[in-house]
């Protein structure tokens, strides 16, 4: 059997989860532990240790033990974050080709995705032993505010580890899924995710199994590590006072201080005062080793951590403002991430949101559980597409009765209380379908951008040889928006659309070229483009007063004529007259109200479920989760003078795309390059450079006579792709995206081969 899993690839710890027999759970290693430290240590004997044994080597062999890679992945060498980490972390870093940041250890260099790949491989091994089957596909989670490069680099890590990525899923969305999937309720949630290296807050509407993100905001450099650092600084001050030696002068010693600080912090979550001893801080008279004995009270910790914790609420205010909500509009606050175990954090969350944070699911495991649910849904959709022929009755019904589906949209009715006290998530059943089809295309990494700024020609993609003509200027002629969502968007999405529909700034050009301005915005009405959009749109238009609307006969990734009666509500099963599958005895059934019971009797296609279900779980249809996520950052292209032309605004629901029309500004211009970035600044250079779009083999013609429509599309993973077409001929134009610091296809193969050959422990 080939199982699918969900992996929460964390800064500090990684957790792998699976969804089996209606139960989502984090999978334990051979010692029963579900947290795999995201640490990789290169042993002198040539083996690579990962997880707990690697973490144990942090103090013994700090120069060969790599951690906190998630803070760096997808960031190029010249970024502030990498520079800061390089100065602070005990292991060595180097600049690689294309400004990639490399880890240098034991005479070898490794890319950041390669280091993460070791952790993913360990997660995969843990899963394979726990499940007793091979694991080749996974949903992998990332912080909601990860940009395109960080997502792409995470995907590269998975490929190096030999895993096919079913989906890159935002962590808070995964957490919400674990919390709300199958609950059958309508709630407005805040997911407060305070981990080791990052803080994220996401506001979502959960309505039955539709999870719609309203806003997300985050700080990629705010986490429990900052609290450890503040404690370690206090300890260093104390060492300086007691022994006249500053441990900050020795990064390896200071790292030991940080580890001791973290342990103090953990213990202070349950104790009021803790004393620690750091051995051999320095040497005194006669070479005598001097230790540091240090005591910290919870109160002192709270003084140190207070300003750090407060910063999380700035981000919360930001998210609330973006969604135009107040804390009073929220029904629930979900606590995610190890730092939410800190009593001060719990208390401040309660004060800020005016309600206690919900933490009945383990804050460490909840994300992996949600990812596992989504993995199972996506794998199920694929299995049905490829393996099961459409049963005639269902196919006929689907083709003759469009719009009749297998679930309900949100309706009114009382909200059942949250199921308390569950360490693991139990669901009645799972519909093996998802909001989008899995990626079945083979992985095709986008090309690496060798240098920036003052770009040199990137490695050439296959295809016609580009002309020798220098790149010139393309002037923005117009814009055409197609945000794939319907009416009734949240206010920020509306604002984002308004932004998107605003005329673009003066012009597009290669950075050095002077140019004229020709701007004619053309804005198309948004159009629902998939069954998912229709579902989303109907959901958005529905309210508590409006009776639930049946789902359409399919969702994206599961065409109508492939509707499987196993996905249908009980009545559909009667009609399909399928033989019942064998149901194992240990399959759990849900006791209590089913989501189906939310459907009013007037919905004639759906029979209300009894409140106690005795039907075997796999035959019950909890609708597939529909995830409506947003892009956390504005996508822009660079204009003349180093400004941004915003293409897709922050908080726009994904998938979405936007088409810009360009016109040549130089006679016989055949190539053009435009820089693409993500961020909120109006100045392009202050945002994150993703890379460069190259349009090549353009039709040779006098300037102004070639108009190229370029479509920038963000997929459900929040990742960018581009395509282009010559408006006059209607033919596709070569458009290639070169991303900063990512390996090309051939390089990736090499990395995967080297990785597979490495001995791990
Ligand atoms: P995550 O990134 O979600 O794995 O969270 C890791 C962060 O949670 C690290 O900064 C840990 O030090 C912190 N953490 C884990 N357990 C506790 C605890 N019991 N008390 C305080 N912080 C904790």
Percentage of the chain exceeding pLDDT 90: 60
Q: How confident is the model at residue 634 (pLDDT cuts 50, 70, 90)?
A: very high
* Residue 411 clears pLDDT 60, i.e. is over it: no
Q: Distance (Å, rounded) from C-alpha 693 to C-alpha 368?
A: 35
Which ligand 1 atom sits nearest the alpha carbon of residue 266? 20
Which ligand 1 atom sits nearest the alpha carbon of residue 367? 3
Question: What are the helix (H) ranges across 268-365?
Answer: 298-323, 343-353
Find all residues with CB under 8 Å of 506, minimum gap 6, and list them: 476, 517, 519, 639, 640, 641
Which residues make beta-bridge pairs with 346?
Answer: none
H/E stretch holding 80 reads helix 80-88
Higher pLDDT, 328 or 609: 328
Find all residues with CB under 8 Å of 253, minimum gap 6, and list them: 247, 281
Q: How far is CA 572 from the centre of its chain?
A: 36
Ligand 1 center to residue 161 CA distance, Å?
A: 26
Specify the pLDDT at position 742: 87
Tokens describing residue 567: 């996905």
Specify the pLDDT at position 230: 97
Q: Distance (Å, rounded) from C-alpha 113 to C-alpha 160?
A: 8
Specify the pLDDT at position 624: 79
Q: Distance (Å, rounded) from C-alpha 530 to C-alpha 246?
A: 62
DSSP assignment letter at 684? G
Q: How confident is the model at residue 1 (pLDDT cuts 50, 70, 90)?
A: low
Ligand 1 center to residue 90 CA distance, Å?
A: 21
Q: What residues flank ligand 1, with Cβ below 6 Å? A: 10-13, 195-196, 223-225, 262, 265-266, 269, 337-339, 341-342, 364
Find all residues with CB under 8 Å of 183, minimum gap 6, and list them: 206, 416, 418, 419, 595
Question: What stretches of 106-154 adopt beta strand conformation (E)?
Answer: 108-111, 134-142
Site to substitute for ligand 1 among 9, 11, 12, most atoms within 8 A of C-beta = 12
Q: How far is CA 596 from the centre of its chain?
A: 30
Q: Cβ–Cβ contacts within 10 Å for residue 693, how many? A: 20
Q: Distance (Å, rounded) from C-alpha 726 to C-alpha 662?
A: 10
Tokens describing residue 758: 């490495």
CB-facing half-sphere around the CA of 547: CA atoms within 13 A: 8
Q: Distance (Å, rounded) from C-alpha 509 to C-alpha 463?
A: 24
Specify the pLDDT at position 323: 95
Give the closest residue (by CA) to ligand 1 atom 15: 338
Which ligand 1 atom sits nearest the alpha carbon of residue 10? 2
Q: Distance (Å, rounded) from C-alpha 51 to C-alpha 294?
A: 28
Mean pLDDT of 489-506: 36
Q: Distance (Å, rounded) from C-alpha 157 to C-alpha 390?
A: 36
Which ligand 1 atom sits nearest the alpha carbon of residue 11? 2
Q: Is 426 helix (H, G, I), strand (E, B) or coil?
A: strand
Are 189 and 180 within 8 A, CB to CB? yes
204 phi/psi in degrees, rounded to 5: -135, 150
Q: Distance (Å, rounded) from C-alpha 649 to C-alpha 658?
A: 10
pLDDT tens by residue, 241-284:
999 999 999 988 998 999 999 999 999 999 999 999 999 999 99
Specify the pLDDT at position 252: 87
Residue by residue, what is the 3-state secondary structure of 96-124?
A: CHHHEEEEEECCEEEEHHHHHHHHHHHHH
pLDDT tens by residue, 417-426:
333 222 333 3
Which residues make beta-bridge pairs with 296?
Answer: 274
Of 348-352, 354-358, 398-402, 532-536, the poorest mean pLDDT is in 398-402
Burial of residue 730 (number of CB atoms within 10 Å: 0-12, 13-18, 19+)? exposed
Ligand 1 center to residue 109 CA distance, Å?
A: 29
Distances (CA, A) of 17 to 6, 7, 373, 468: 5, 6, 9, 52
Closest by CA to 273, choosing from 291, 294, 242, 257, is 294
Question: What are the helix (H) ranges across 354-485?
Answer: 366-387, 392-400
Closest by CA to 470, choosing from 518, 513, 516, is 513
Which ligand 1 atom sits nearest the alpha carbon of residue 364? 3
- Model-level pTM? 0.74
Give the closest residue (by CA) to ligand 1 atom 22: 339
Closest by CA to 156, choosing from 80, 201, 98, is 98
Ligand 1 center to residue 343 CA distance, Å?
A: 12
Specify the pLDDT at position 21: 87
Of 162-171, 240-249, 372-381, 589-598, the poorest mean pLDDT is in 589-598
Which ligand 1 atom sits nearest the alpha carbon of residue 269? 20
Are 224 and 344 within 8 A, CB to CB? no
Q: Distance (Å, rounded) from C-alpha 310 to C-alpha 317?
A: 11
H/E stretch holding 495 reads helix 491-501
Specify the pLDDT at position 384: 85
Question: What are the helix (H) ranges across 170-297?
Answer: 171-180, 224-243, 251-267
pLDDT tens by residue, 89-107:
889 999 998 889 999 999 9
- Average pLDDT for the chain: 75
pLDDT tens by residue, 180-190:
998 889 999 99
Q: Distance (Å, rounded) from C-alpha 261 to C-alpha 281?
A: 14
pLDDT tens by residue, 198-207:
899 999 999 9
Mean pLDDT of 334-348: 96
Ligand 1 center to residue 225 CA distance, Å?
A: 9
Tokens describing residue 316: 């919360």
Ligand 1 center to residue 291 CA distance, Å?
A: 26
Of 47-61, 310-324, 525-539, 613-627, the poorest mean pLDDT is in 525-539
Cis bond before residue 333 (omega within 30° of 0): no
Ligand 1 center to residue 17 CA distance, Å?
A: 19
Give the closest residue (by CA) to ligand 1 atom 7: 196
Give the closest residue (by CA) to ligand 1 atom 20: 266
Q: Distance (Å, rounded) from C-alpha 54 to C-alpha 69?
A: 14
DSSP result, 642-664:
GBEEEEE-TT-EESEEEEEEEEE
Specify the pLDDT at position 622: 63
Find all residues with CB under 8 Å of 488, minimum gap 6, and list them: 537, 540, 541
Query: Between β-strands 186-194 and 332-336, what pairing exists: parallel, antiparallel or unpaired?
Result: parallel
Closest by CA to 653, choosing from 175, 213, 190, 315, is 213
DSSP assignment letter at 564? -
Of 233-242, 248-257, 360-369, 487-496, the poorest mean pLDDT is in 487-496
Site to substitute for ligand 1 among 312, 338, 343, most atoms within 8 A of C-beta = 338
Of 192-196, 477-481, 507-511, the poorest mean pLDDT is in 507-511
Site to substitute for ligand 1 among 123, 336, 339, most atoms within 8 A of C-beta = 339
Specify the pLDDT at position 124: 97
Ligand 1 center to residue 340 CA distance, Å?
A: 7
pLDDT tens by residue, 133-164:
999 999 999 999 899 999 999 999 999 999 99
Cis bond before residue 580 (omega within 30° of 0): no
Residue by residue, what is the 3-state secondary structure of 383-442?
A: HHHHHCCCCHHHHHHHHHCCCCCCCECCCCCCCCCCCCCCCCEECCCCCCCCCCCCCCCC
Identify the residue whose tokens are 């001995």.
759
Specify the pLDDT at position 621: 54
Which residues make beta-bridge pairs with 268?
Answer: none
Q: How confident is the model at residue 391 (pLDDT cuts 50, 70, 90)?
A: confident
Specify the pLDDT at position 386: 63
Specify the pLDDT at position 269: 98
Mean pLDDT of 6-28: 95
Ligand 1 center to residue 262 CA distance, Å?
A: 8
Q: Distance (Å, rounded) from C-alpha 729 to C-alpha 717?
A: 32
**What angle do the packed helices 298-323 and 491-501 form, to 10 degrees?**
60
* Residue 498 clears pLDDT 70, i.e. is over it: no
- Which of 116-125, 492-501, 586-595 shows the highest mean pLDDT? 116-125
Specify the pLDDT at position 198: 85
Q: Is 339 helix (H, G, I), strand (E, B) or coil?
A: helix
Are 245 and 282 within 8 A, CB to CB? yes
Give the closest residue (by CA) to ligand 1 atom 18: 266
Percentage of the chain exceeding pLDDT 70: 69
Specify the pLDDT at position 49: 98
pLDDT tens by residue, 682-741:
999 999 999 999 999 999 999 999 999 999 999 999 999 999 999 999 999 999 999 998
Which ligand 1 atom sits nearest the alpha carbon of residue 268? 20
Specify the pLDDT at position 417: 32
* Residue 522 clears pLDDT 70, i.e. is over it: no
Q: How confident is the model at residue 308 (pLDDT cuts 50, 70, 90)?
A: very high
**What angle do the packed helices 171-180 and 366-387 form, to 10 degrees?**
80
Mean pLDDT of 424-445: 35
Mean pLDDT of 299-325: 97
Q: How confident is the model at residue 239 (pLDDT cuts 50, 70, 90)?
A: very high
Ligand 1 center to residue 664 CA distance, Å?
A: 54
* Residue 630 clears pLDDT 50, i.e. is over it: yes
Give the closest residue (by CA) to ligand 1 atom 1: 195
Higher pLDDT, 641 or 539: 641
């Amino acid at each position: 059997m080939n199982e699918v899993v969900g992996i929460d690839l964390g800064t500090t710890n990684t957790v792998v989860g699976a969804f089996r027999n209606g139960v989502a759970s984090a999978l334990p290693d051979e010692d029963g532990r579900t947290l795999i430290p995201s640490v990789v240590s290169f042993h002198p004997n040539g083996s690579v240790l990962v997880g707990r044994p690697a973490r144990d080597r942090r103090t013994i062999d700090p120069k060969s033990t790599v951690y906190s890679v998630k803070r760096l992945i997808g960031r190029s060498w010249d970024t502030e974050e990498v520079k800061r980490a390089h100065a602070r972390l005990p292991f060595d870093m180097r600049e690689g080709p294309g400004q990639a940041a490399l880890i240098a250890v034991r005479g070898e260099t490794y890319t950041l995705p390669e280091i993460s790949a070791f952790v993913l491989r360990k997660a995969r091994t843990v899963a394979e032993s726990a499940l007793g089957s091979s694991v080749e596909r996974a949903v992998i989670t990332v912080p909601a505010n990860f940009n395109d490069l960080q997502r792409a680099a995470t995907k590269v890590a998975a490929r190096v580890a030999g895993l096919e990525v079913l989906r890159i899923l935002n962590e808070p969305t995964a957490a919400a899924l674990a919390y709300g999937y199958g609950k059958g309720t309508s709630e407005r949630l805040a997911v407060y995710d305070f981990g080791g290296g990052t803080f994220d807050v996401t506001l979502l509407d959960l309505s039955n199994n539709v999870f719609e993100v309203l806003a997300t905001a985050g700080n990629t450099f705010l986490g429990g590590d900052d609290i450890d650092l503040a404690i370690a600084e206090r300890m260093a001050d104390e060492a300086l006072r007691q022994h006249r030696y500053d441990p900050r002068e020795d990064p390896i010693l200071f790292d030991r201080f940080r580890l001791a600080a973290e342990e103090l912090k953990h213990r202070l979550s349950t104790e009021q005062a803790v004393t620690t001893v750091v051995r051999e801080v320095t040497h005194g008279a006669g070479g005598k080793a001097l230790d540091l004995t240090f005591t910290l009270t919870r109160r002192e910790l709270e003084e140190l951590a207070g300003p750090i914790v407060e910063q999380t609420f700035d981000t919360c205010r930001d998210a609330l403002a973006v969604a135009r909500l107040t804390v009073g509009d929220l029904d629930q606050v979900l606590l995610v991430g190890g730092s939410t175990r800190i009593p001060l954090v719990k208390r401040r969350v309660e004060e800020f949101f005016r309600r206690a944070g919900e933490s009945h699911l383990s804050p460490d495991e909840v994300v992996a559980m949600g990812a596992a649910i989504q993995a199972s849904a996506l794998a199920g959709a694929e299995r049905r597409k490829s393996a099961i022929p459409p049963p005639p009755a269902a196919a006929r019904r689907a083709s003759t009765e469009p719009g009749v589906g297998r679930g309900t949209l949100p309706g009114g009715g009382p909200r059942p209380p949250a199921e308390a006290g569950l360490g693991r998530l139990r669901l009645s059943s799972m519909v093996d379908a998802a909001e989008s089809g899995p990626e079945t295309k083979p992985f095709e990494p986008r090309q690496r951008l060798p240098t920036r700024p003052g770009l040199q020609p990137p490695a050439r993609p296959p295809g016609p040889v580009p002309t020798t003509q220098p790149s010139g200027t393309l002037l923005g002629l117009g814009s055409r928006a197609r945000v794939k969502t319907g009416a009734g968007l949240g206010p920020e999405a509306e604002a984002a659309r308004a932004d998107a529909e605003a005329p673009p700034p003066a012009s597009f050009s290669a950075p050095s070229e002077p140019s004229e301005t020709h701007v004619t915005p053309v804005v198309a009405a948004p159009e629902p483009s998939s069954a998912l959009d229709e579902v989303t749109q109907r959901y958005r238009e529905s309210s508590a007063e409006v009776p639930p609307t049946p789902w359409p006969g399919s969702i994206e990734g599961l065409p109508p004529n492939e509707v499987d009666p196993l996905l249908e509500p009980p009545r559909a099963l009667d009609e399909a007259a399928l033989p019942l599958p064998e149901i194992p005895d240990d399959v759990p059934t849900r006791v209590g109200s089913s989501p189906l019971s939310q459907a009013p009797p007037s919905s004639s296609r759906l029979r209300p479920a009894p409140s106690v279900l005795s039907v075997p779980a796999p035959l019950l249809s909890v609708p597939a989760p529909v995830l409506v996520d947003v892009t956390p950052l504005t996508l822009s292209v660079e204009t003349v003078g180093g400004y941004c032309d915003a293409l897709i605004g922050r908080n726009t629901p994904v998938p979405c795309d936007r088409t810009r029309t360009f016109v040549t500004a130089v006679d016989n211009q055949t190539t053009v390059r435009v820089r693409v970035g993500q961020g909120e600044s109006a100045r392009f250079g202050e945002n994150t450079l993703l890379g460069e779009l190259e349009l090549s083999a353009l039709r040779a013609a006098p300037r102004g006579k070639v108009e190229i429509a370029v479509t920038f599309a963000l997929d459900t993973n929040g990742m960018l792709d581009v395509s282009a077409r010559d408006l006059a001929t209607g033919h596709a134009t070569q458009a290639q995206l070169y991303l900063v610091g990512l390996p090309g296809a051939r390089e990736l193969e090499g990395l995967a081969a080297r990785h597979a050959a490495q001995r791990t422990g």
